[in-house]
Amino acid sequence: MSDIKIGDKVRFLNSTGGGVVSRFKGKDQVLVEDEDGFEVPALIRECVVVSDREVQVHSSRRSPLPPTQPTQAPAPQPKKPQPQPEEEKVTETPEGERLNVYLAYLPIEPTKVMQDSGYETYFINDSNYYLFFNYMNRQNNSWISRYNGIVEPNTQIFLEEFGKDDLNSLERICVQLIAFKKGKPYSLKNTISVELHLDTVKFYKQHCFMENDFFDEDAMVYPIVRQDVPEKELLVSATELKEAMLQKVREDRHAPQTIVKKKASDSNVLEVDLHITELLDNTNGLSNADMLNYQLEKFHEILAQYAGNKGQKIVFIHGKGDGVLRKAIEKELKTRYKQHYYQDASFREYGFGATMVTIK
């Protein structure tokens, strides 16, 4: 990435002219303000930072200055008022009357191994409003502003480039913003402050950068405001939530078993309901694979608990569903528990949704 910053004086490599960098446009362009106050778009790679003495700005409206001669200095001329740049017209859309704001993170070199790539941060304003915003990260008990400024309606701007060493500092971020329009009436929007807890582990996984509506490249896009509604603070990441649920699973192994019941019509037969809703009160943060593993762990625990009860009959209620749990149980019985006898439980009572195991 270039070291060019807003306020740097630059000259063009492939054409005459130069000026002062007034702002960035996209990820590879800047707008350079010449001596007449006009902004000229230029590619960053075609600009070079120079000192005050090296800058000579020539435009099509003025001839280049001739070499200086050791003559008497001319009388000072009154300065002409510089023309003010015209305010760009904003193209508005009906859906843009609601605020939709996002942060996006892109790998700089997505084709390389993710452990070696740096990243870029972009701010996306998908609305008809100008946004004055401040992008921050938390460090200890304080906040540090990483970027602040005004972004135009329906525009995305580059914020910064960072590397792997900066990821730990980005676990807690915050965006504050104020929405307004210029020169026209508008609906008042509340001042917004949104804190997010980023799962920085995802930055090491290429599949976490996905196709999106804002970039040609894959990106991780985090909503800040959707349809005027600020995102609620994520107190824990998905990884932390999953770990907490799995910890609960481990603790449940030592808790009294409540899922084993004696069959009402036959006290010698035990019933074990393996439906996930019977095993867990809350499955938030668990994938289908996590839930299946938990059901199988309960299956193993019950068989281990009654392994010494020869002749004990246990009906495992797994439901019909798409048959995933049923097939997984049958596989375990065929490989790990070959000594036990199993069969479909009573069709009249359970349909195809249960398997009866006899301890041998």
pLDDT given at position 312: 93
Are 120 and 229 members of one domain? yes
CB 32 within 8 A of CB 11: no
**Domain limits at 231?**
94-235
Helices (H) and strands (E) in the chain, counts: 5, 19
Q: Is the pLDDT of residue 349 over 90?
A: no
Are 229 and 261 members of one domain? no
pLDDT (mean) for 302-306: 91
Are 169 and 279 members of one domain? no
Are 194 and 323 members of one domain? no
Inside any domain, residue 75: no
CA distance linking residue 147 with residue 168, whole number of Å: 18
Inside any domain, residue 61: no
Inside any domain, residue 251: no
174: CATH = 2.60.40.1600
Inside any domain, residue 214: yes
Are 42 and 105 members of one domain? no
Inside any domain, residue 64: no
Q: Is the pLDDT of residue 247 over 70?
A: no
Instruction: Identify the weakest region by mean pLDDT among 68-77, 138-147, 155-164.
Output: 68-77
Inside any domain, residue 153: yes
Regarding predicted confidence, which is higher, 237 or 163? 163
* Phi, then psi, of 186 in degrees rounded to 5: -155, 165
Are 172 and 222 members of one domain? yes
Are 137 and 166 members of one domain? yes
CB 230 within 8 A of CB 195: no
- 3 state SS of 97: helix
Are 176 and 218 members of one domain? yes
Inside any domain, residue 1: no
Are 220 and 99 members of one domain? yes
Regarding predicted confidence, which is higher, 7 or 98? 98
Q: What's the total number of domains in the chain?
A: 3
pLDDT digits (tens, 9 = 90+) for 208-229: 888 888 998 899 999 999 999 9
Non-local (6+) Cβ contacts of 20 within 8 A are 7, 8, 9, 10, 32, 33
